[in-house]
Structure 1
Amino acid sequence: MYWKVGKVKITKIVELETVGSTRFILPLASNEEIRKSPWLVPHFATDEGRLKMSIHSLVVETSARRIVVDTGLGNDKQGRNVPTWNNRQGPFLETMREAGFAPDSIDTVLCTHLHVDHVGWNTSLVNGKWVPTFANARYVFGRAEYEHWRDDREEPDKVAVFNDSVKPVADAGRADLVASDARLTDEITLIPTPGHSPGHMSVHIRSDGEEALLTGDVAHHPCQMAHLDWSSTADFDPVQSAATRRQLFGRFADTETLVIGGHFNAGRIRRDDDAFKFIV
């Protein structure tokens, strides 16, 4: 699946898709509540009100760059807080190659934030050592985000993620720490969107008069556009995350900006009373 934004092409590479089983991340999103927003069906929820979500990467191609935005769960990782995320042996890299994106063809990896399901394929296990998966790439991390997780040693699962999927990149000299509003290319600028994590960033793309927004995890699901106060259990600051949603969605609502989530497909944001809805 891919989208064109001016001269920029965005391709979705799926690692894992789920239907339902998402209450652990969005506890207020009951089947009954979801059915009250019929615009979610069929693209983002089933008729029964079960949420459709995915863990995926987005490959952004410009005339000069080939960028992977977020890198999923990865294989062989341990110490994850979701049992099925441990020691995965999935075909993600093969899927990338089949789509035309060999790992050594990637020149930039951009992580919107450094949570477990956005950094996993940063590294691969080779002869018992974690090494950068994308050997020719610079890895772009938000400085505030990186420094927070580097210095936070209290939660074992997050320590494990940093140690196997982030630190080896820095140790290999492949990491570039940037401001959360940095301009990466003529077409790509970062937007600070804190709340889900301390230094979370979204990605704003402009090309030939067209625009796209890669939200990362500002929202895990479009139902949070209708319910801005439905913060995720994984949010670092639930109050800030709700405020960020209102501000970001308000900025792009009722425009033709193509919006692609960190865990959901593309659409456009429309105002709906005091909140928003998402239209494919």
Structure 2
Amino acid sequence: MNEIKLGDVLVSRVEEMHGPIMPTGAFFPTIPGAAWERQRDELTPDHLGGEMVHTAMQSWVLRSEGRVILIDTGVGNGKSRPAVEAWDHLDLDYLGNLARAGVRPEDVDVVVNTHLHLDHIGWNTRMVGGEWVPTFPNATYLMPRVDVEYWNPANHPGLVGHVNQNAFEDSVAPVLAAGQVQLWEGHHVIDGNLRLAAAPGHTPGAGVVKLVSGSDRGLFAGDLIHTPLQLRELGHNSCFCEDPAEAVRSRRELLGWAADSNALVLPAHLSGHGALEIERHGDAFAVKGWAPFDRL
């Protein structure tokens, strides 16, 4: 099963790829090895294999108030990614997976990029006639203003060699040029069920989508966490967080909202069942239960 209902919103999970991505110590430099060992049984095999962290690249498709909303767009095909060999010039069937969820590119009304790292914007565009063009021709792309300004190479010296090298040029600039981008900052109402809220730290403009519909709650959490271990190890970030202190603050605040409101947490990168309910555990959090999505 890859669909669930939250209030009046139908939520579908669409995979791009999943599997091992980085060694634990490289991905999370400050998490001690003993912490991984304490939770190895719970993390294996969906989130940990040997010393390798396992993750997923996936999108969340929401059908809300008659519109199709796509949250995050993965790595993308054919993109030049010199800093990440495993993501360089991919050729994956993401659009086929989207079609199997009942969605054609022209059906998408809104694309939400929770932030502008390369693995959240890749399918914003695809190559047509030798040019990068918007994949979703009828969509409004909601992008955080702060990230658009920050990741623009004109404003961000040193992107050569950075993990985000080329990403703005091939996955953001063409959508801006097409006039399909709506910038937001602080908060933004998508519809009566969904709103964007700022979650800075991982990137300066990072955000999340909060779902409030009937008695159900959901938190489309972007990169607040990359592994369930961060529920217990709240103060530890991935190596990709631009402002570690702000990332911890956002994680604590928003996961607290999810725990207190019994919200389903749907991060961008959890493999296995992909989404979970959490509860407070001392001054941190723990897994309360997993969503009924099929395991990746």
| TM-score normalised by the chain length of structure 1 | 0.93
DSSP 3-state at the match of 1:253: helix
The 8 Å contact of residues 30 and 49 in structure 1, kept in 2 or not, is answered as: no
Q: For the structure 1 residues 60 and 152, does the alpha-carbon distance in structure 2 shift closer, same or farther, using more than 3 Å as the test? A: same
1:271 and 2:277 matched:
no
> Whose strand proportion is higher, 1 or 2?
2
Compared with structure 1, are the counterparts of its residues 219 and 148 closer, same or farther at alpha carbon in structure 2 (3 Å cutoff)? same
Q: Return the letter of the residue paired with 1:9.
A: L
1:191 maps to what in 2?
Answer: 197
> Which 5+ residue runs of structure 1 have no aligned equivalent?
none
Determine the structure 2 residue equivalent to 1:248.
254
Instruction: Specify which of 180, 202, 208 is matched with residue 208 of structure 2.
Output: 202
Contact map agreement 1:35 1:47 (CA 8 A) in 2: no
SS of aligned partner of 2:231? helix
Q: Between the two proteins, what is the percent identity of the paired residues?
A: 31
Q: Secondary structure at the match of 2:60?
A: strand
- The alignment status of 1:178 with 2:184, answered yes or no, reads yes
Question: Is residue 234 of structure 2 the alignment partner of residue 221 of structure 1?
Answer: no
* 1:138 matches 2:144: no
In the TM superposition, what are the counterparts of 1:1-280 in structure 2 within 5 Å? 1-19=2-20, 21-23=22-24, 24-29=26-31, 32-37=34-39, 40-41=42-43, 44-46=46-48, 51-150=53-152, 151-156=155-160, 157=162, 158-264=164-270, 265-279=274-288, 280=290
Aligned partners of 2:180, 2:121: CA distance in 1, in Å? Answer: 14
Cα distance, 1:134–1:198 mapped onto 2, change above 3 Å: same
Contact 1:40 1:222 in 2 (8 A): no
Structure 2 counterpart SS, 1:215: strand
Query: Once the 2 structures are TM-superposed, how far is the Cα of residue 13 of structure 1 from its aligned partner?
Result: 0.7
CA displacement 1:143-181 (0-9 Å, x = unmatched): 111111122242124341000000000001111111231
Q: CA deviation at 1:20?
A: 6.0
User: How far off its partner does 1:33 sit?
Assistant: 2.4
> Aligned partner of 2:6: which letter?
V
Q: What's the offset of the Cα at 1:32?
A: 4.5
Distance 2:87 2:47 in 1: 23
Contact 1:46–1:52, Cα closer than 8 Å, also in 2: yes
1:43-97 superposed Cα distances (whole Å, 9 cap, x missing partner): 7435857543101111111132101100000001003411011110111111111
SS at match of 2:278: strand
Aligned length: 280
Q: Which digits, 9 at most, give the CA deviation of each residue in 1:223-269, with x for residues without a partner? A: 11110121111000011111211111122224321111110111111
Greater mean deviation of Cα atoms: 270-279 or 203-212 = 270-279
Change beyond 3 A, Cα 1:148–1:50: closer
Structure 2 CA distance for aligned equivalents of residues 21 and 59 of structure 1 = 27
Q: 1:80 to 1:218 in 2, by over 3 A?
A: farther
CA distance in 1: counterparts of 2:213 and 2:119, whole angstroms: 29
Please state how far the C-alpha of 1:31 moved relative to its aligned partner.
6.2
Instruction: Determine if contact 1:75/1:120 at 8 Å carries over to the other structure.
Output: yes
Residues 258, 264 of structure 2: 8 Å contact kept: no
Q: State the Cα RMSD in Å.
A: 2.0
Q: What is the alpha-carbon distance in structure 1 between the residues aligned to residue 97 and residue 177 of structure 2?
A: 28
Whether the 8 Å contact between 2:147 and 2:205 is mirrored in structure 1 is yes
The answer (yes or no) to whether the contact 2:217–2:261 under 8 Å persists in 1 is no
| Aligned equivalent of 2:294 | none
Question: Which one-letter code corresponds to 1:261 in the other structure?
Answer: P
Instruction: State the distance in 2 between where 1:46 and 1:10 align.
Output: 26
